[in-house]
Structure 1
Protein backbone atom coordinates (compact mmCIF):
# COMPACT_ATOMS: atom_id res chain seq x y z
CA UNK A 1 0.00 0.00 0.00
CA UNK A 2 1.39 3.38 -1.02
CA UNK A 3 0.68 6.64 0.79
CA UNK A 4 0.57 9.61 -1.58
CA UNK A 5 0.01 13.11 -0.24
CA UNK A 6 -2.08 15.39 -2.45
CA UNK A 7 -0.03 18.43 -3.51
CA UNK A 8 -3.22 20.52 -3.70
CA UNK A 9 -4.96 19.91 -0.36
CA UNK A 10 -2.41 17.92 1.67
CA UNK A 11 -4.66 14.90 2.26
CA UNK A 12 -2.95 11.53 2.53
CA UNK A 13 -4.30 9.02 0.01
CA UNK A 14 -3.82 5.26 0.23
CA UNK A 15 -3.21 3.58 -3.10
CA UNK A 16 -3.00 -0.21 -3.42
CA UNK A 17 0.27 -1.57 -4.82
CA UNK A 18 0.03 -2.23 -8.53
CA UNK A 19 -2.56 0.49 -9.13
CA UNK A 20 -1.69 3.18 -11.67
CA UNK A 21 -0.78 6.14 -9.46
CA UNK A 22 -0.69 8.49 -12.46
CA UNK A 23 -4.43 7.97 -12.90
CA UNK A 24 -5.17 8.38 -9.17
CA UNK A 25 -7.25 11.24 -7.79
CA UNK A 26 -7.32 12.68 -4.30
CA UNK A 27 -10.15 11.30 -2.19
CA UNK A 28 -10.61 14.70 -0.52
CA UNK A 29 -10.39 17.33 -3.27
CA UNK A 30 -10.70 15.18 -6.41
CA UNK A 31 -7.53 16.61 -8.02
CA UNK A 32 -5.08 14.27 -9.78
CA UNK A 33 -2.40 12.93 -7.44
CA UNK A 34 0.22 13.60 -10.13
CA UNK A 35 0.00 16.47 -12.58
CA UNK A 36 1.96 16.91 -15.79
CA UNK A 37 5.05 17.95 -13.89
CA UNK A 38 6.30 18.97 -10.46
CA UNK A 39 3.83 20.58 -8.06
CA UNK A 40 4.59 23.90 -6.37
CA UNK A 41 4.42 23.57 -2.56
CA UNK A 42 4.74 25.72 0.53
CA UNK A 43 7.01 24.86 3.44
CA UNK A 44 4.04 23.55 5.42
CA UNK A 45 2.81 21.38 2.55
CA UNK A 46 6.35 20.10 1.91
CA UNK A 47 6.71 19.14 5.55
CA UNK A 48 3.47 17.13 5.31
CA UNK A 49 4.71 15.45 2.10
CA UNK A 50 8.02 14.48 3.74
CA UNK A 51 6.38 13.03 6.86
CA UNK A 52 3.46 11.16 5.28
CA UNK A 53 4.49 10.04 1.79
CA UNK A 54 5.75 6.53 1.11
CA UNK A 55 7.34 7.76 -2.13
CA UNK A 56 10.78 9.34 -2.35
CA UNK A 57 10.40 13.11 -2.74
CA UNK A 58 12.73 15.24 -4.85
CA UNK A 59 12.43 18.95 -4.11
CA UNK A 60 13.79 21.75 -6.29
CA UNK A 61 14.37 24.84 -4.13
CA UNK A 62 14.43 27.82 -6.48
CA UNK A 63 13.64 31.53 -6.88
CA UNK A 64 12.12 33.42 -9.82
CA UNK A 65 15.05 35.89 -10.06
CA UNK A 66 17.68 33.12 -10.21
CA UNK A 67 19.07 32.58 -13.73
CA UNK A 68 20.33 29.00 -13.16
CA UNK A 69 16.96 28.16 -11.55
CA UNK A 70 15.12 29.34 -14.66
CA UNK A 71 17.46 27.29 -16.84
CA UNK A 72 16.99 24.16 -14.70
CA UNK A 73 13.20 24.52 -14.35
CA UNK A 74 12.34 22.87 -17.70
CA UNK A 75 14.93 20.15 -17.02
CA UNK A 76 13.38 19.38 -13.62
CA UNK A 77 9.95 19.24 -15.27
CA UNK A 78 11.23 16.83 -17.94
CA UNK A 79 12.78 14.62 -15.25
CA UNK A 80 9.47 14.62 -13.35
CA UNK A 81 7.57 13.48 -16.44
CA UNK A 82 9.98 10.56 -16.82
CA UNK A 83 10.17 9.46 -13.18
CA UNK A 84 6.72 10.07 -11.65
CA UNK A 85 5.17 8.07 -9.99
CA UNK A 86 8.45 6.34 -9.05
CA UNK A 87 9.16 9.44 -6.96
CA UNK A 88 7.34 12.71 -6.27
CA UNK A 89 8.80 15.91 -7.77
CA UNK A 90 8.04 19.18 -5.97
CA UNK A 91 9.16 22.81 -6.28
CA UNK A 92 9.64 25.18 -3.34
CA UNK A 93 10.00 28.91 -4.03
CA UNK A 94 12.64 30.04 -1.54
CA UNK A 95 11.53 33.69 -1.75
CA UNK A 96 7.99 32.83 -0.67
CA UNK A 97 9.18 30.32 1.95
CA UNK A 98 12.24 32.03 3.44
CA UNK A 99 11.82 30.76 6.99
CA UNK A 100 11.35 27.16 5.87
CA UNK A 101 14.27 27.43 3.40
CA UNK A 102 16.49 28.66 6.20
CA UNK A 103 15.31 25.89 8.53
CA UNK A 104 16.29 23.19 6.00
CA UNK A 105 19.68 24.82 5.47
CA UNK A 106 19.38 26.29 1.97
CA UNK A 107 22.56 28.29 1.30
CA UNK A 108 22.35 28.60 -2.50
CA UNK A 109 19.92 27.93 -5.30
CA UNK A 110 18.99 25.94 -7.20
CA UNK A 111 19.29 23.17 -4.64
CA UNK A 112 17.67 19.76 -4.93
CA UNK A 113 16.97 17.71 -1.83
CA UNK A 114 15.89 14.08 -1.90
CA UNK A 115 13.81 12.74 0.98
CA UNK A 116 12.82 9.13 1.64
CA UNK A 117 10.80 7.81 4.57
CA UNK A 118 10.89 11.20 6.25
CA UNK A 119 14.67 11.60 6.09
CA UNK A 120 16.97 13.60 3.84
CA UNK A 121 19.03 11.15 1.78
CA UNK A 122 20.80 13.54 -0.58
CA UNK A 123 21.35 17.16 -1.52
CA UNK A 124 22.98 18.82 -4.51
CA UNK A 125 23.27 22.44 -5.64
CA UNK A 126 23.58 23.84 -9.14
CA UNK A 127 21.70 23.52 -12.41
CA UNK A 128 21.57 20.05 -13.98
CA UNK A 129 20.11 18.44 -17.11
CA UNK A 130 17.09 16.14 -16.79
CA UNK A 131 19.31 13.08 -17.39
CA UNK A 132 21.73 14.23 -14.67
CA UNK A 133 18.87 14.92 -12.26
CA UNK A 134 17.49 11.40 -12.71
CA UNK A 135 20.94 9.78 -12.53
CA UNK A 136 21.78 11.67 -9.34
CA UNK A 137 18.43 10.89 -7.67
CA UNK A 138 18.56 7.18 -8.55
CA UNK A 139 22.18 6.94 -7.38
CA UNK A 140 21.02 7.85 -3.87
CA UNK A 141 19.32 4.43 -3.69
CA UNK A 142 22.07 1.86 -4.34
CA UNK A 143 20.78 -1.60 -5.26
Structure 2
Protein backbone atom coordinates (compact mmCIF):
# COMPACT_ATOMS: atom_id res chain seq x y z
CA UNK A 1 0.00 0.00 0.00
CA UNK A 2 1.24 3.51 -0.81
CA UNK A 3 1.27 6.45 1.60
CA UNK A 4 1.31 10.05 0.41
CA UNK A 5 3.91 12.18 2.19
CA UNK A 6 4.24 15.89 1.49
CA UNK A 7 7.79 17.21 1.47
CA UNK A 8 8.20 19.93 4.14
CA UNK A 9 10.77 21.68 1.92
CA UNK A 10 9.11 21.89 -1.52
CA UNK A 11 5.48 20.76 -0.84
CA UNK A 12 5.73 17.96 -3.44
CA UNK A 13 3.67 14.86 -2.76
CA UNK A 14 5.68 11.64 -2.58
CA UNK A 15 4.19 8.14 -2.81
CA UNK A 16 5.99 5.80 -0.42
CA UNK A 17 5.42 2.14 0.41
CA UNK A 18 3.71 2.12 3.81
CA UNK A 19 6.07 -0.55 5.12
CA UNK A 20 9.08 1.68 4.32
CA UNK A 21 8.06 4.71 6.40
CA UNK A 22 10.84 4.07 8.90
CA UNK A 23 13.55 4.04 6.21
CA UNK A 24 15.57 7.15 5.38
CA UNK A 25 13.32 8.72 2.76
CA UNK A 26 14.13 11.56 0.38
CA UNK A 27 11.82 13.72 -1.68
CA UNK A 28 11.65 12.67 -5.32
CA UNK A 29 11.54 16.33 -6.37
CA UNK A 30 14.03 18.28 -4.20
CA UNK A 31 15.94 15.24 -2.82
CA UNK A 32 15.89 16.54 0.76
CA UNK A 33 14.97 14.28 3.69
CA UNK A 34 11.24 13.75 4.17
CA UNK A 35 11.82 13.29 7.93
CA UNK A 36 14.70 14.60 10.02
CA UNK A 37 13.36 14.34 13.59
CA UNK A 38 12.87 18.14 13.74
CA UNK A 39 9.59 20.03 13.29
CA UNK A 40 9.44 21.92 10.02
CA UNK A 41 8.64 25.64 10.02
CA UNK A 42 5.90 26.12 7.43
CA UNK A 43 4.27 28.99 5.62
CA UNK A 44 0.51 29.06 5.11
CA UNK A 45 0.94 27.41 1.69
CA UNK A 46 3.12 24.67 3.18
CA UNK A 47 0.62 24.05 5.96
CA UNK A 48 -2.26 23.87 3.49
CA UNK A 49 -0.34 21.34 1.36
CA UNK A 50 0.48 19.16 4.37
CA UNK A 51 -3.12 19.14 5.63
CA UNK A 52 -4.70 18.55 2.21
CA UNK A 53 -2.34 15.95 0.75
CA UNK A 54 -0.61 14.03 3.56
CA UNK A 55 -1.85 10.56 4.49
CA UNK A 56 -0.17 10.70 7.90
CA UNK A 57 -1.50 12.93 10.69
CA UNK A 58 -0.11 16.48 10.71
CA UNK A 59 0.52 17.94 14.16
CA UNK A 60 0.77 21.74 14.08
CA UNK A 61 2.26 23.99 16.74
CA UNK A 62 0.73 27.44 16.23
CA UNK A 63 3.15 29.81 17.99
CA UNK A 64 4.72 33.29 17.91
CA UNK A 65 8.26 34.48 18.67
CA UNK A 66 7.13 36.91 21.39
CA UNK A 67 5.27 34.15 23.32
CA UNK A 68 7.17 32.99 26.42
CA UNK A 69 5.30 29.67 26.82
CA UNK A 70 5.84 28.98 23.07
CA UNK A 71 9.59 29.45 23.42
CA UNK A 72 9.59 27.36 26.59
CA UNK A 73 7.76 24.51 24.84
CA UNK A 74 9.91 24.58 21.66
CA UNK A 75 12.57 22.09 22.92
CA UNK A 76 9.81 19.77 24.17
CA UNK A 77 8.05 19.91 20.80
CA UNK A 78 11.39 19.06 19.17
CA UNK A 79 11.75 16.00 21.44
CA UNK A 80 8.16 14.94 20.71
CA UNK A 81 8.92 15.15 16.99
CA UNK A 82 11.78 12.67 17.40
CA UNK A 83 9.39 10.34 19.27
CA UNK A 84 6.55 10.50 16.73
CA UNK A 85 8.10 10.62 13.25
CA UNK A 86 7.48 9.03 10.76
CA UNK A 87 3.96 8.14 11.91
CA UNK A 88 3.01 11.80 12.29
CA UNK A 89 4.41 14.97 10.71
CA UNK A 90 5.17 17.68 13.30
CA UNK A 91 5.29 21.24 12.01
CA UNK A 92 5.35 24.78 13.37
CA UNK A 93 3.52 27.83 12.06
CA UNK A 94 4.51 31.29 13.26
CA UNK A 95 1.12 33.00 13.64
CA UNK A 96 2.76 36.42 13.65
CA UNK A 97 4.44 35.89 10.27
CA UNK A 98 1.50 33.91 8.85
CA UNK A 99 -1.54 35.59 10.38
CA UNK A 100 -3.82 34.17 7.69
CA UNK A 101 -3.06 30.63 8.93
CA UNK A 102 -3.94 31.61 12.51
CA UNK A 103 -7.18 33.22 11.35
CA UNK A 104 -8.15 30.33 9.08
CA UNK A 105 -7.73 27.82 11.91
CA UNK A 106 -9.35 30.08 14.52
CA UNK A 107 -6.28 30.27 16.77
CA UNK A 108 -7.23 32.34 19.81
CA UNK A 109 -4.35 31.52 22.16
CA UNK A 110 -0.83 30.27 21.72
CA UNK A 111 0.73 27.85 21.88
CA UNK A 112 -2.07 25.81 20.35
CA UNK A 113 -1.38 22.32 19.05
CA UNK A 114 -3.80 20.87 16.50
CA UNK A 115 -3.88 17.47 14.80
CA UNK A 116 -5.13 17.19 11.22
CA UNK A 117 -5.97 13.90 9.55
CA UNK A 118 -7.63 13.39 6.19
CA UNK A 119 -7.77 17.15 5.66
CA UNK A 120 -9.76 17.76 8.86
CA UNK A 121 -8.83 18.93 12.34
CA UNK A 122 -9.42 16.04 14.74
CA UNK A 123 -8.04 17.41 18.04
CA UNK A 124 -6.69 20.57 19.64
CA UNK A 125 -5.04 21.61 22.91
CA UNK A 126 -3.69 24.94 24.13
CA UNK A 127 -0.82 25.68 26.46
CA UNK A 128 2.74 24.44 26.85
CA UNK A 129 3.25 20.70 27.30
CA UNK A 130 6.18 18.38 27.94
CA UNK A 131 7.43 16.02 25.22
CA UNK A 132 5.99 12.91 26.92
CA UNK A 133 2.61 14.63 27.37
CA UNK A 134 2.59 15.77 23.73
CA UNK A 135 3.55 12.31 22.46
CA UNK A 136 0.89 10.63 24.61
CA UNK A 137 -1.79 13.09 23.46
CA UNK A 138 -0.89 12.69 19.77
CA UNK A 139 -0.76 8.87 20.01
CA UNK A 140 -4.22 8.86 21.62
CA UNK A 141 -5.56 10.40 18.39
CA UNK A 142 -3.70 8.24 15.83
Q: Kindly provide the CA deviation profile for residues 54-94 of structure 1, in whole angstroms up to 9, marking residues without a partner as x.
A: 00010000111100000100000000001100100000000
TM-score, structure 2 normalization: 0.96
Aligned residues: 141
Contact 2:24 2:33 (C-alpha < 8 Å) held by counterparts: yes
TM (norm. structure 1) is 0.95
- Given that 2:63 and 2:93 are in contact with CA atoms closer than 8 Å, whether structure 1 keeps it comes out as yes
CA distance in 2, matches of 1:84, 1:22: 11
Give the alignment's Cα RMSD to 1 decimal.
Answer: 1.0
Output the CA distance in 1 between the equivalents of 2:87 and 2:50.
15
Report the counterpart of residue 84 of structure 1 in structure 2.
85
Does the aligned pair in 1 maintain the 2:10–2:30 contact within 8 Å?
Answer: yes
Residue 22 of structure 1 contacts residue 85 of structure 1 at CA under 8 Å; is this kept in 2? Answer: no
Gaps of 5+ in 2: none
Change (3 A) 1:21 1:28: farther
Ranges of 4+ aligned residues in structure 1 off by more than 3 Å = none
Write out aligned runs for 1:1-143 (5 A): 1-141=2-142
Q: 1:21 to 1:12 in 2, by over 3 A?
A: farther
d(CA) in 2 for partners of 1:25, 1:139 = 28
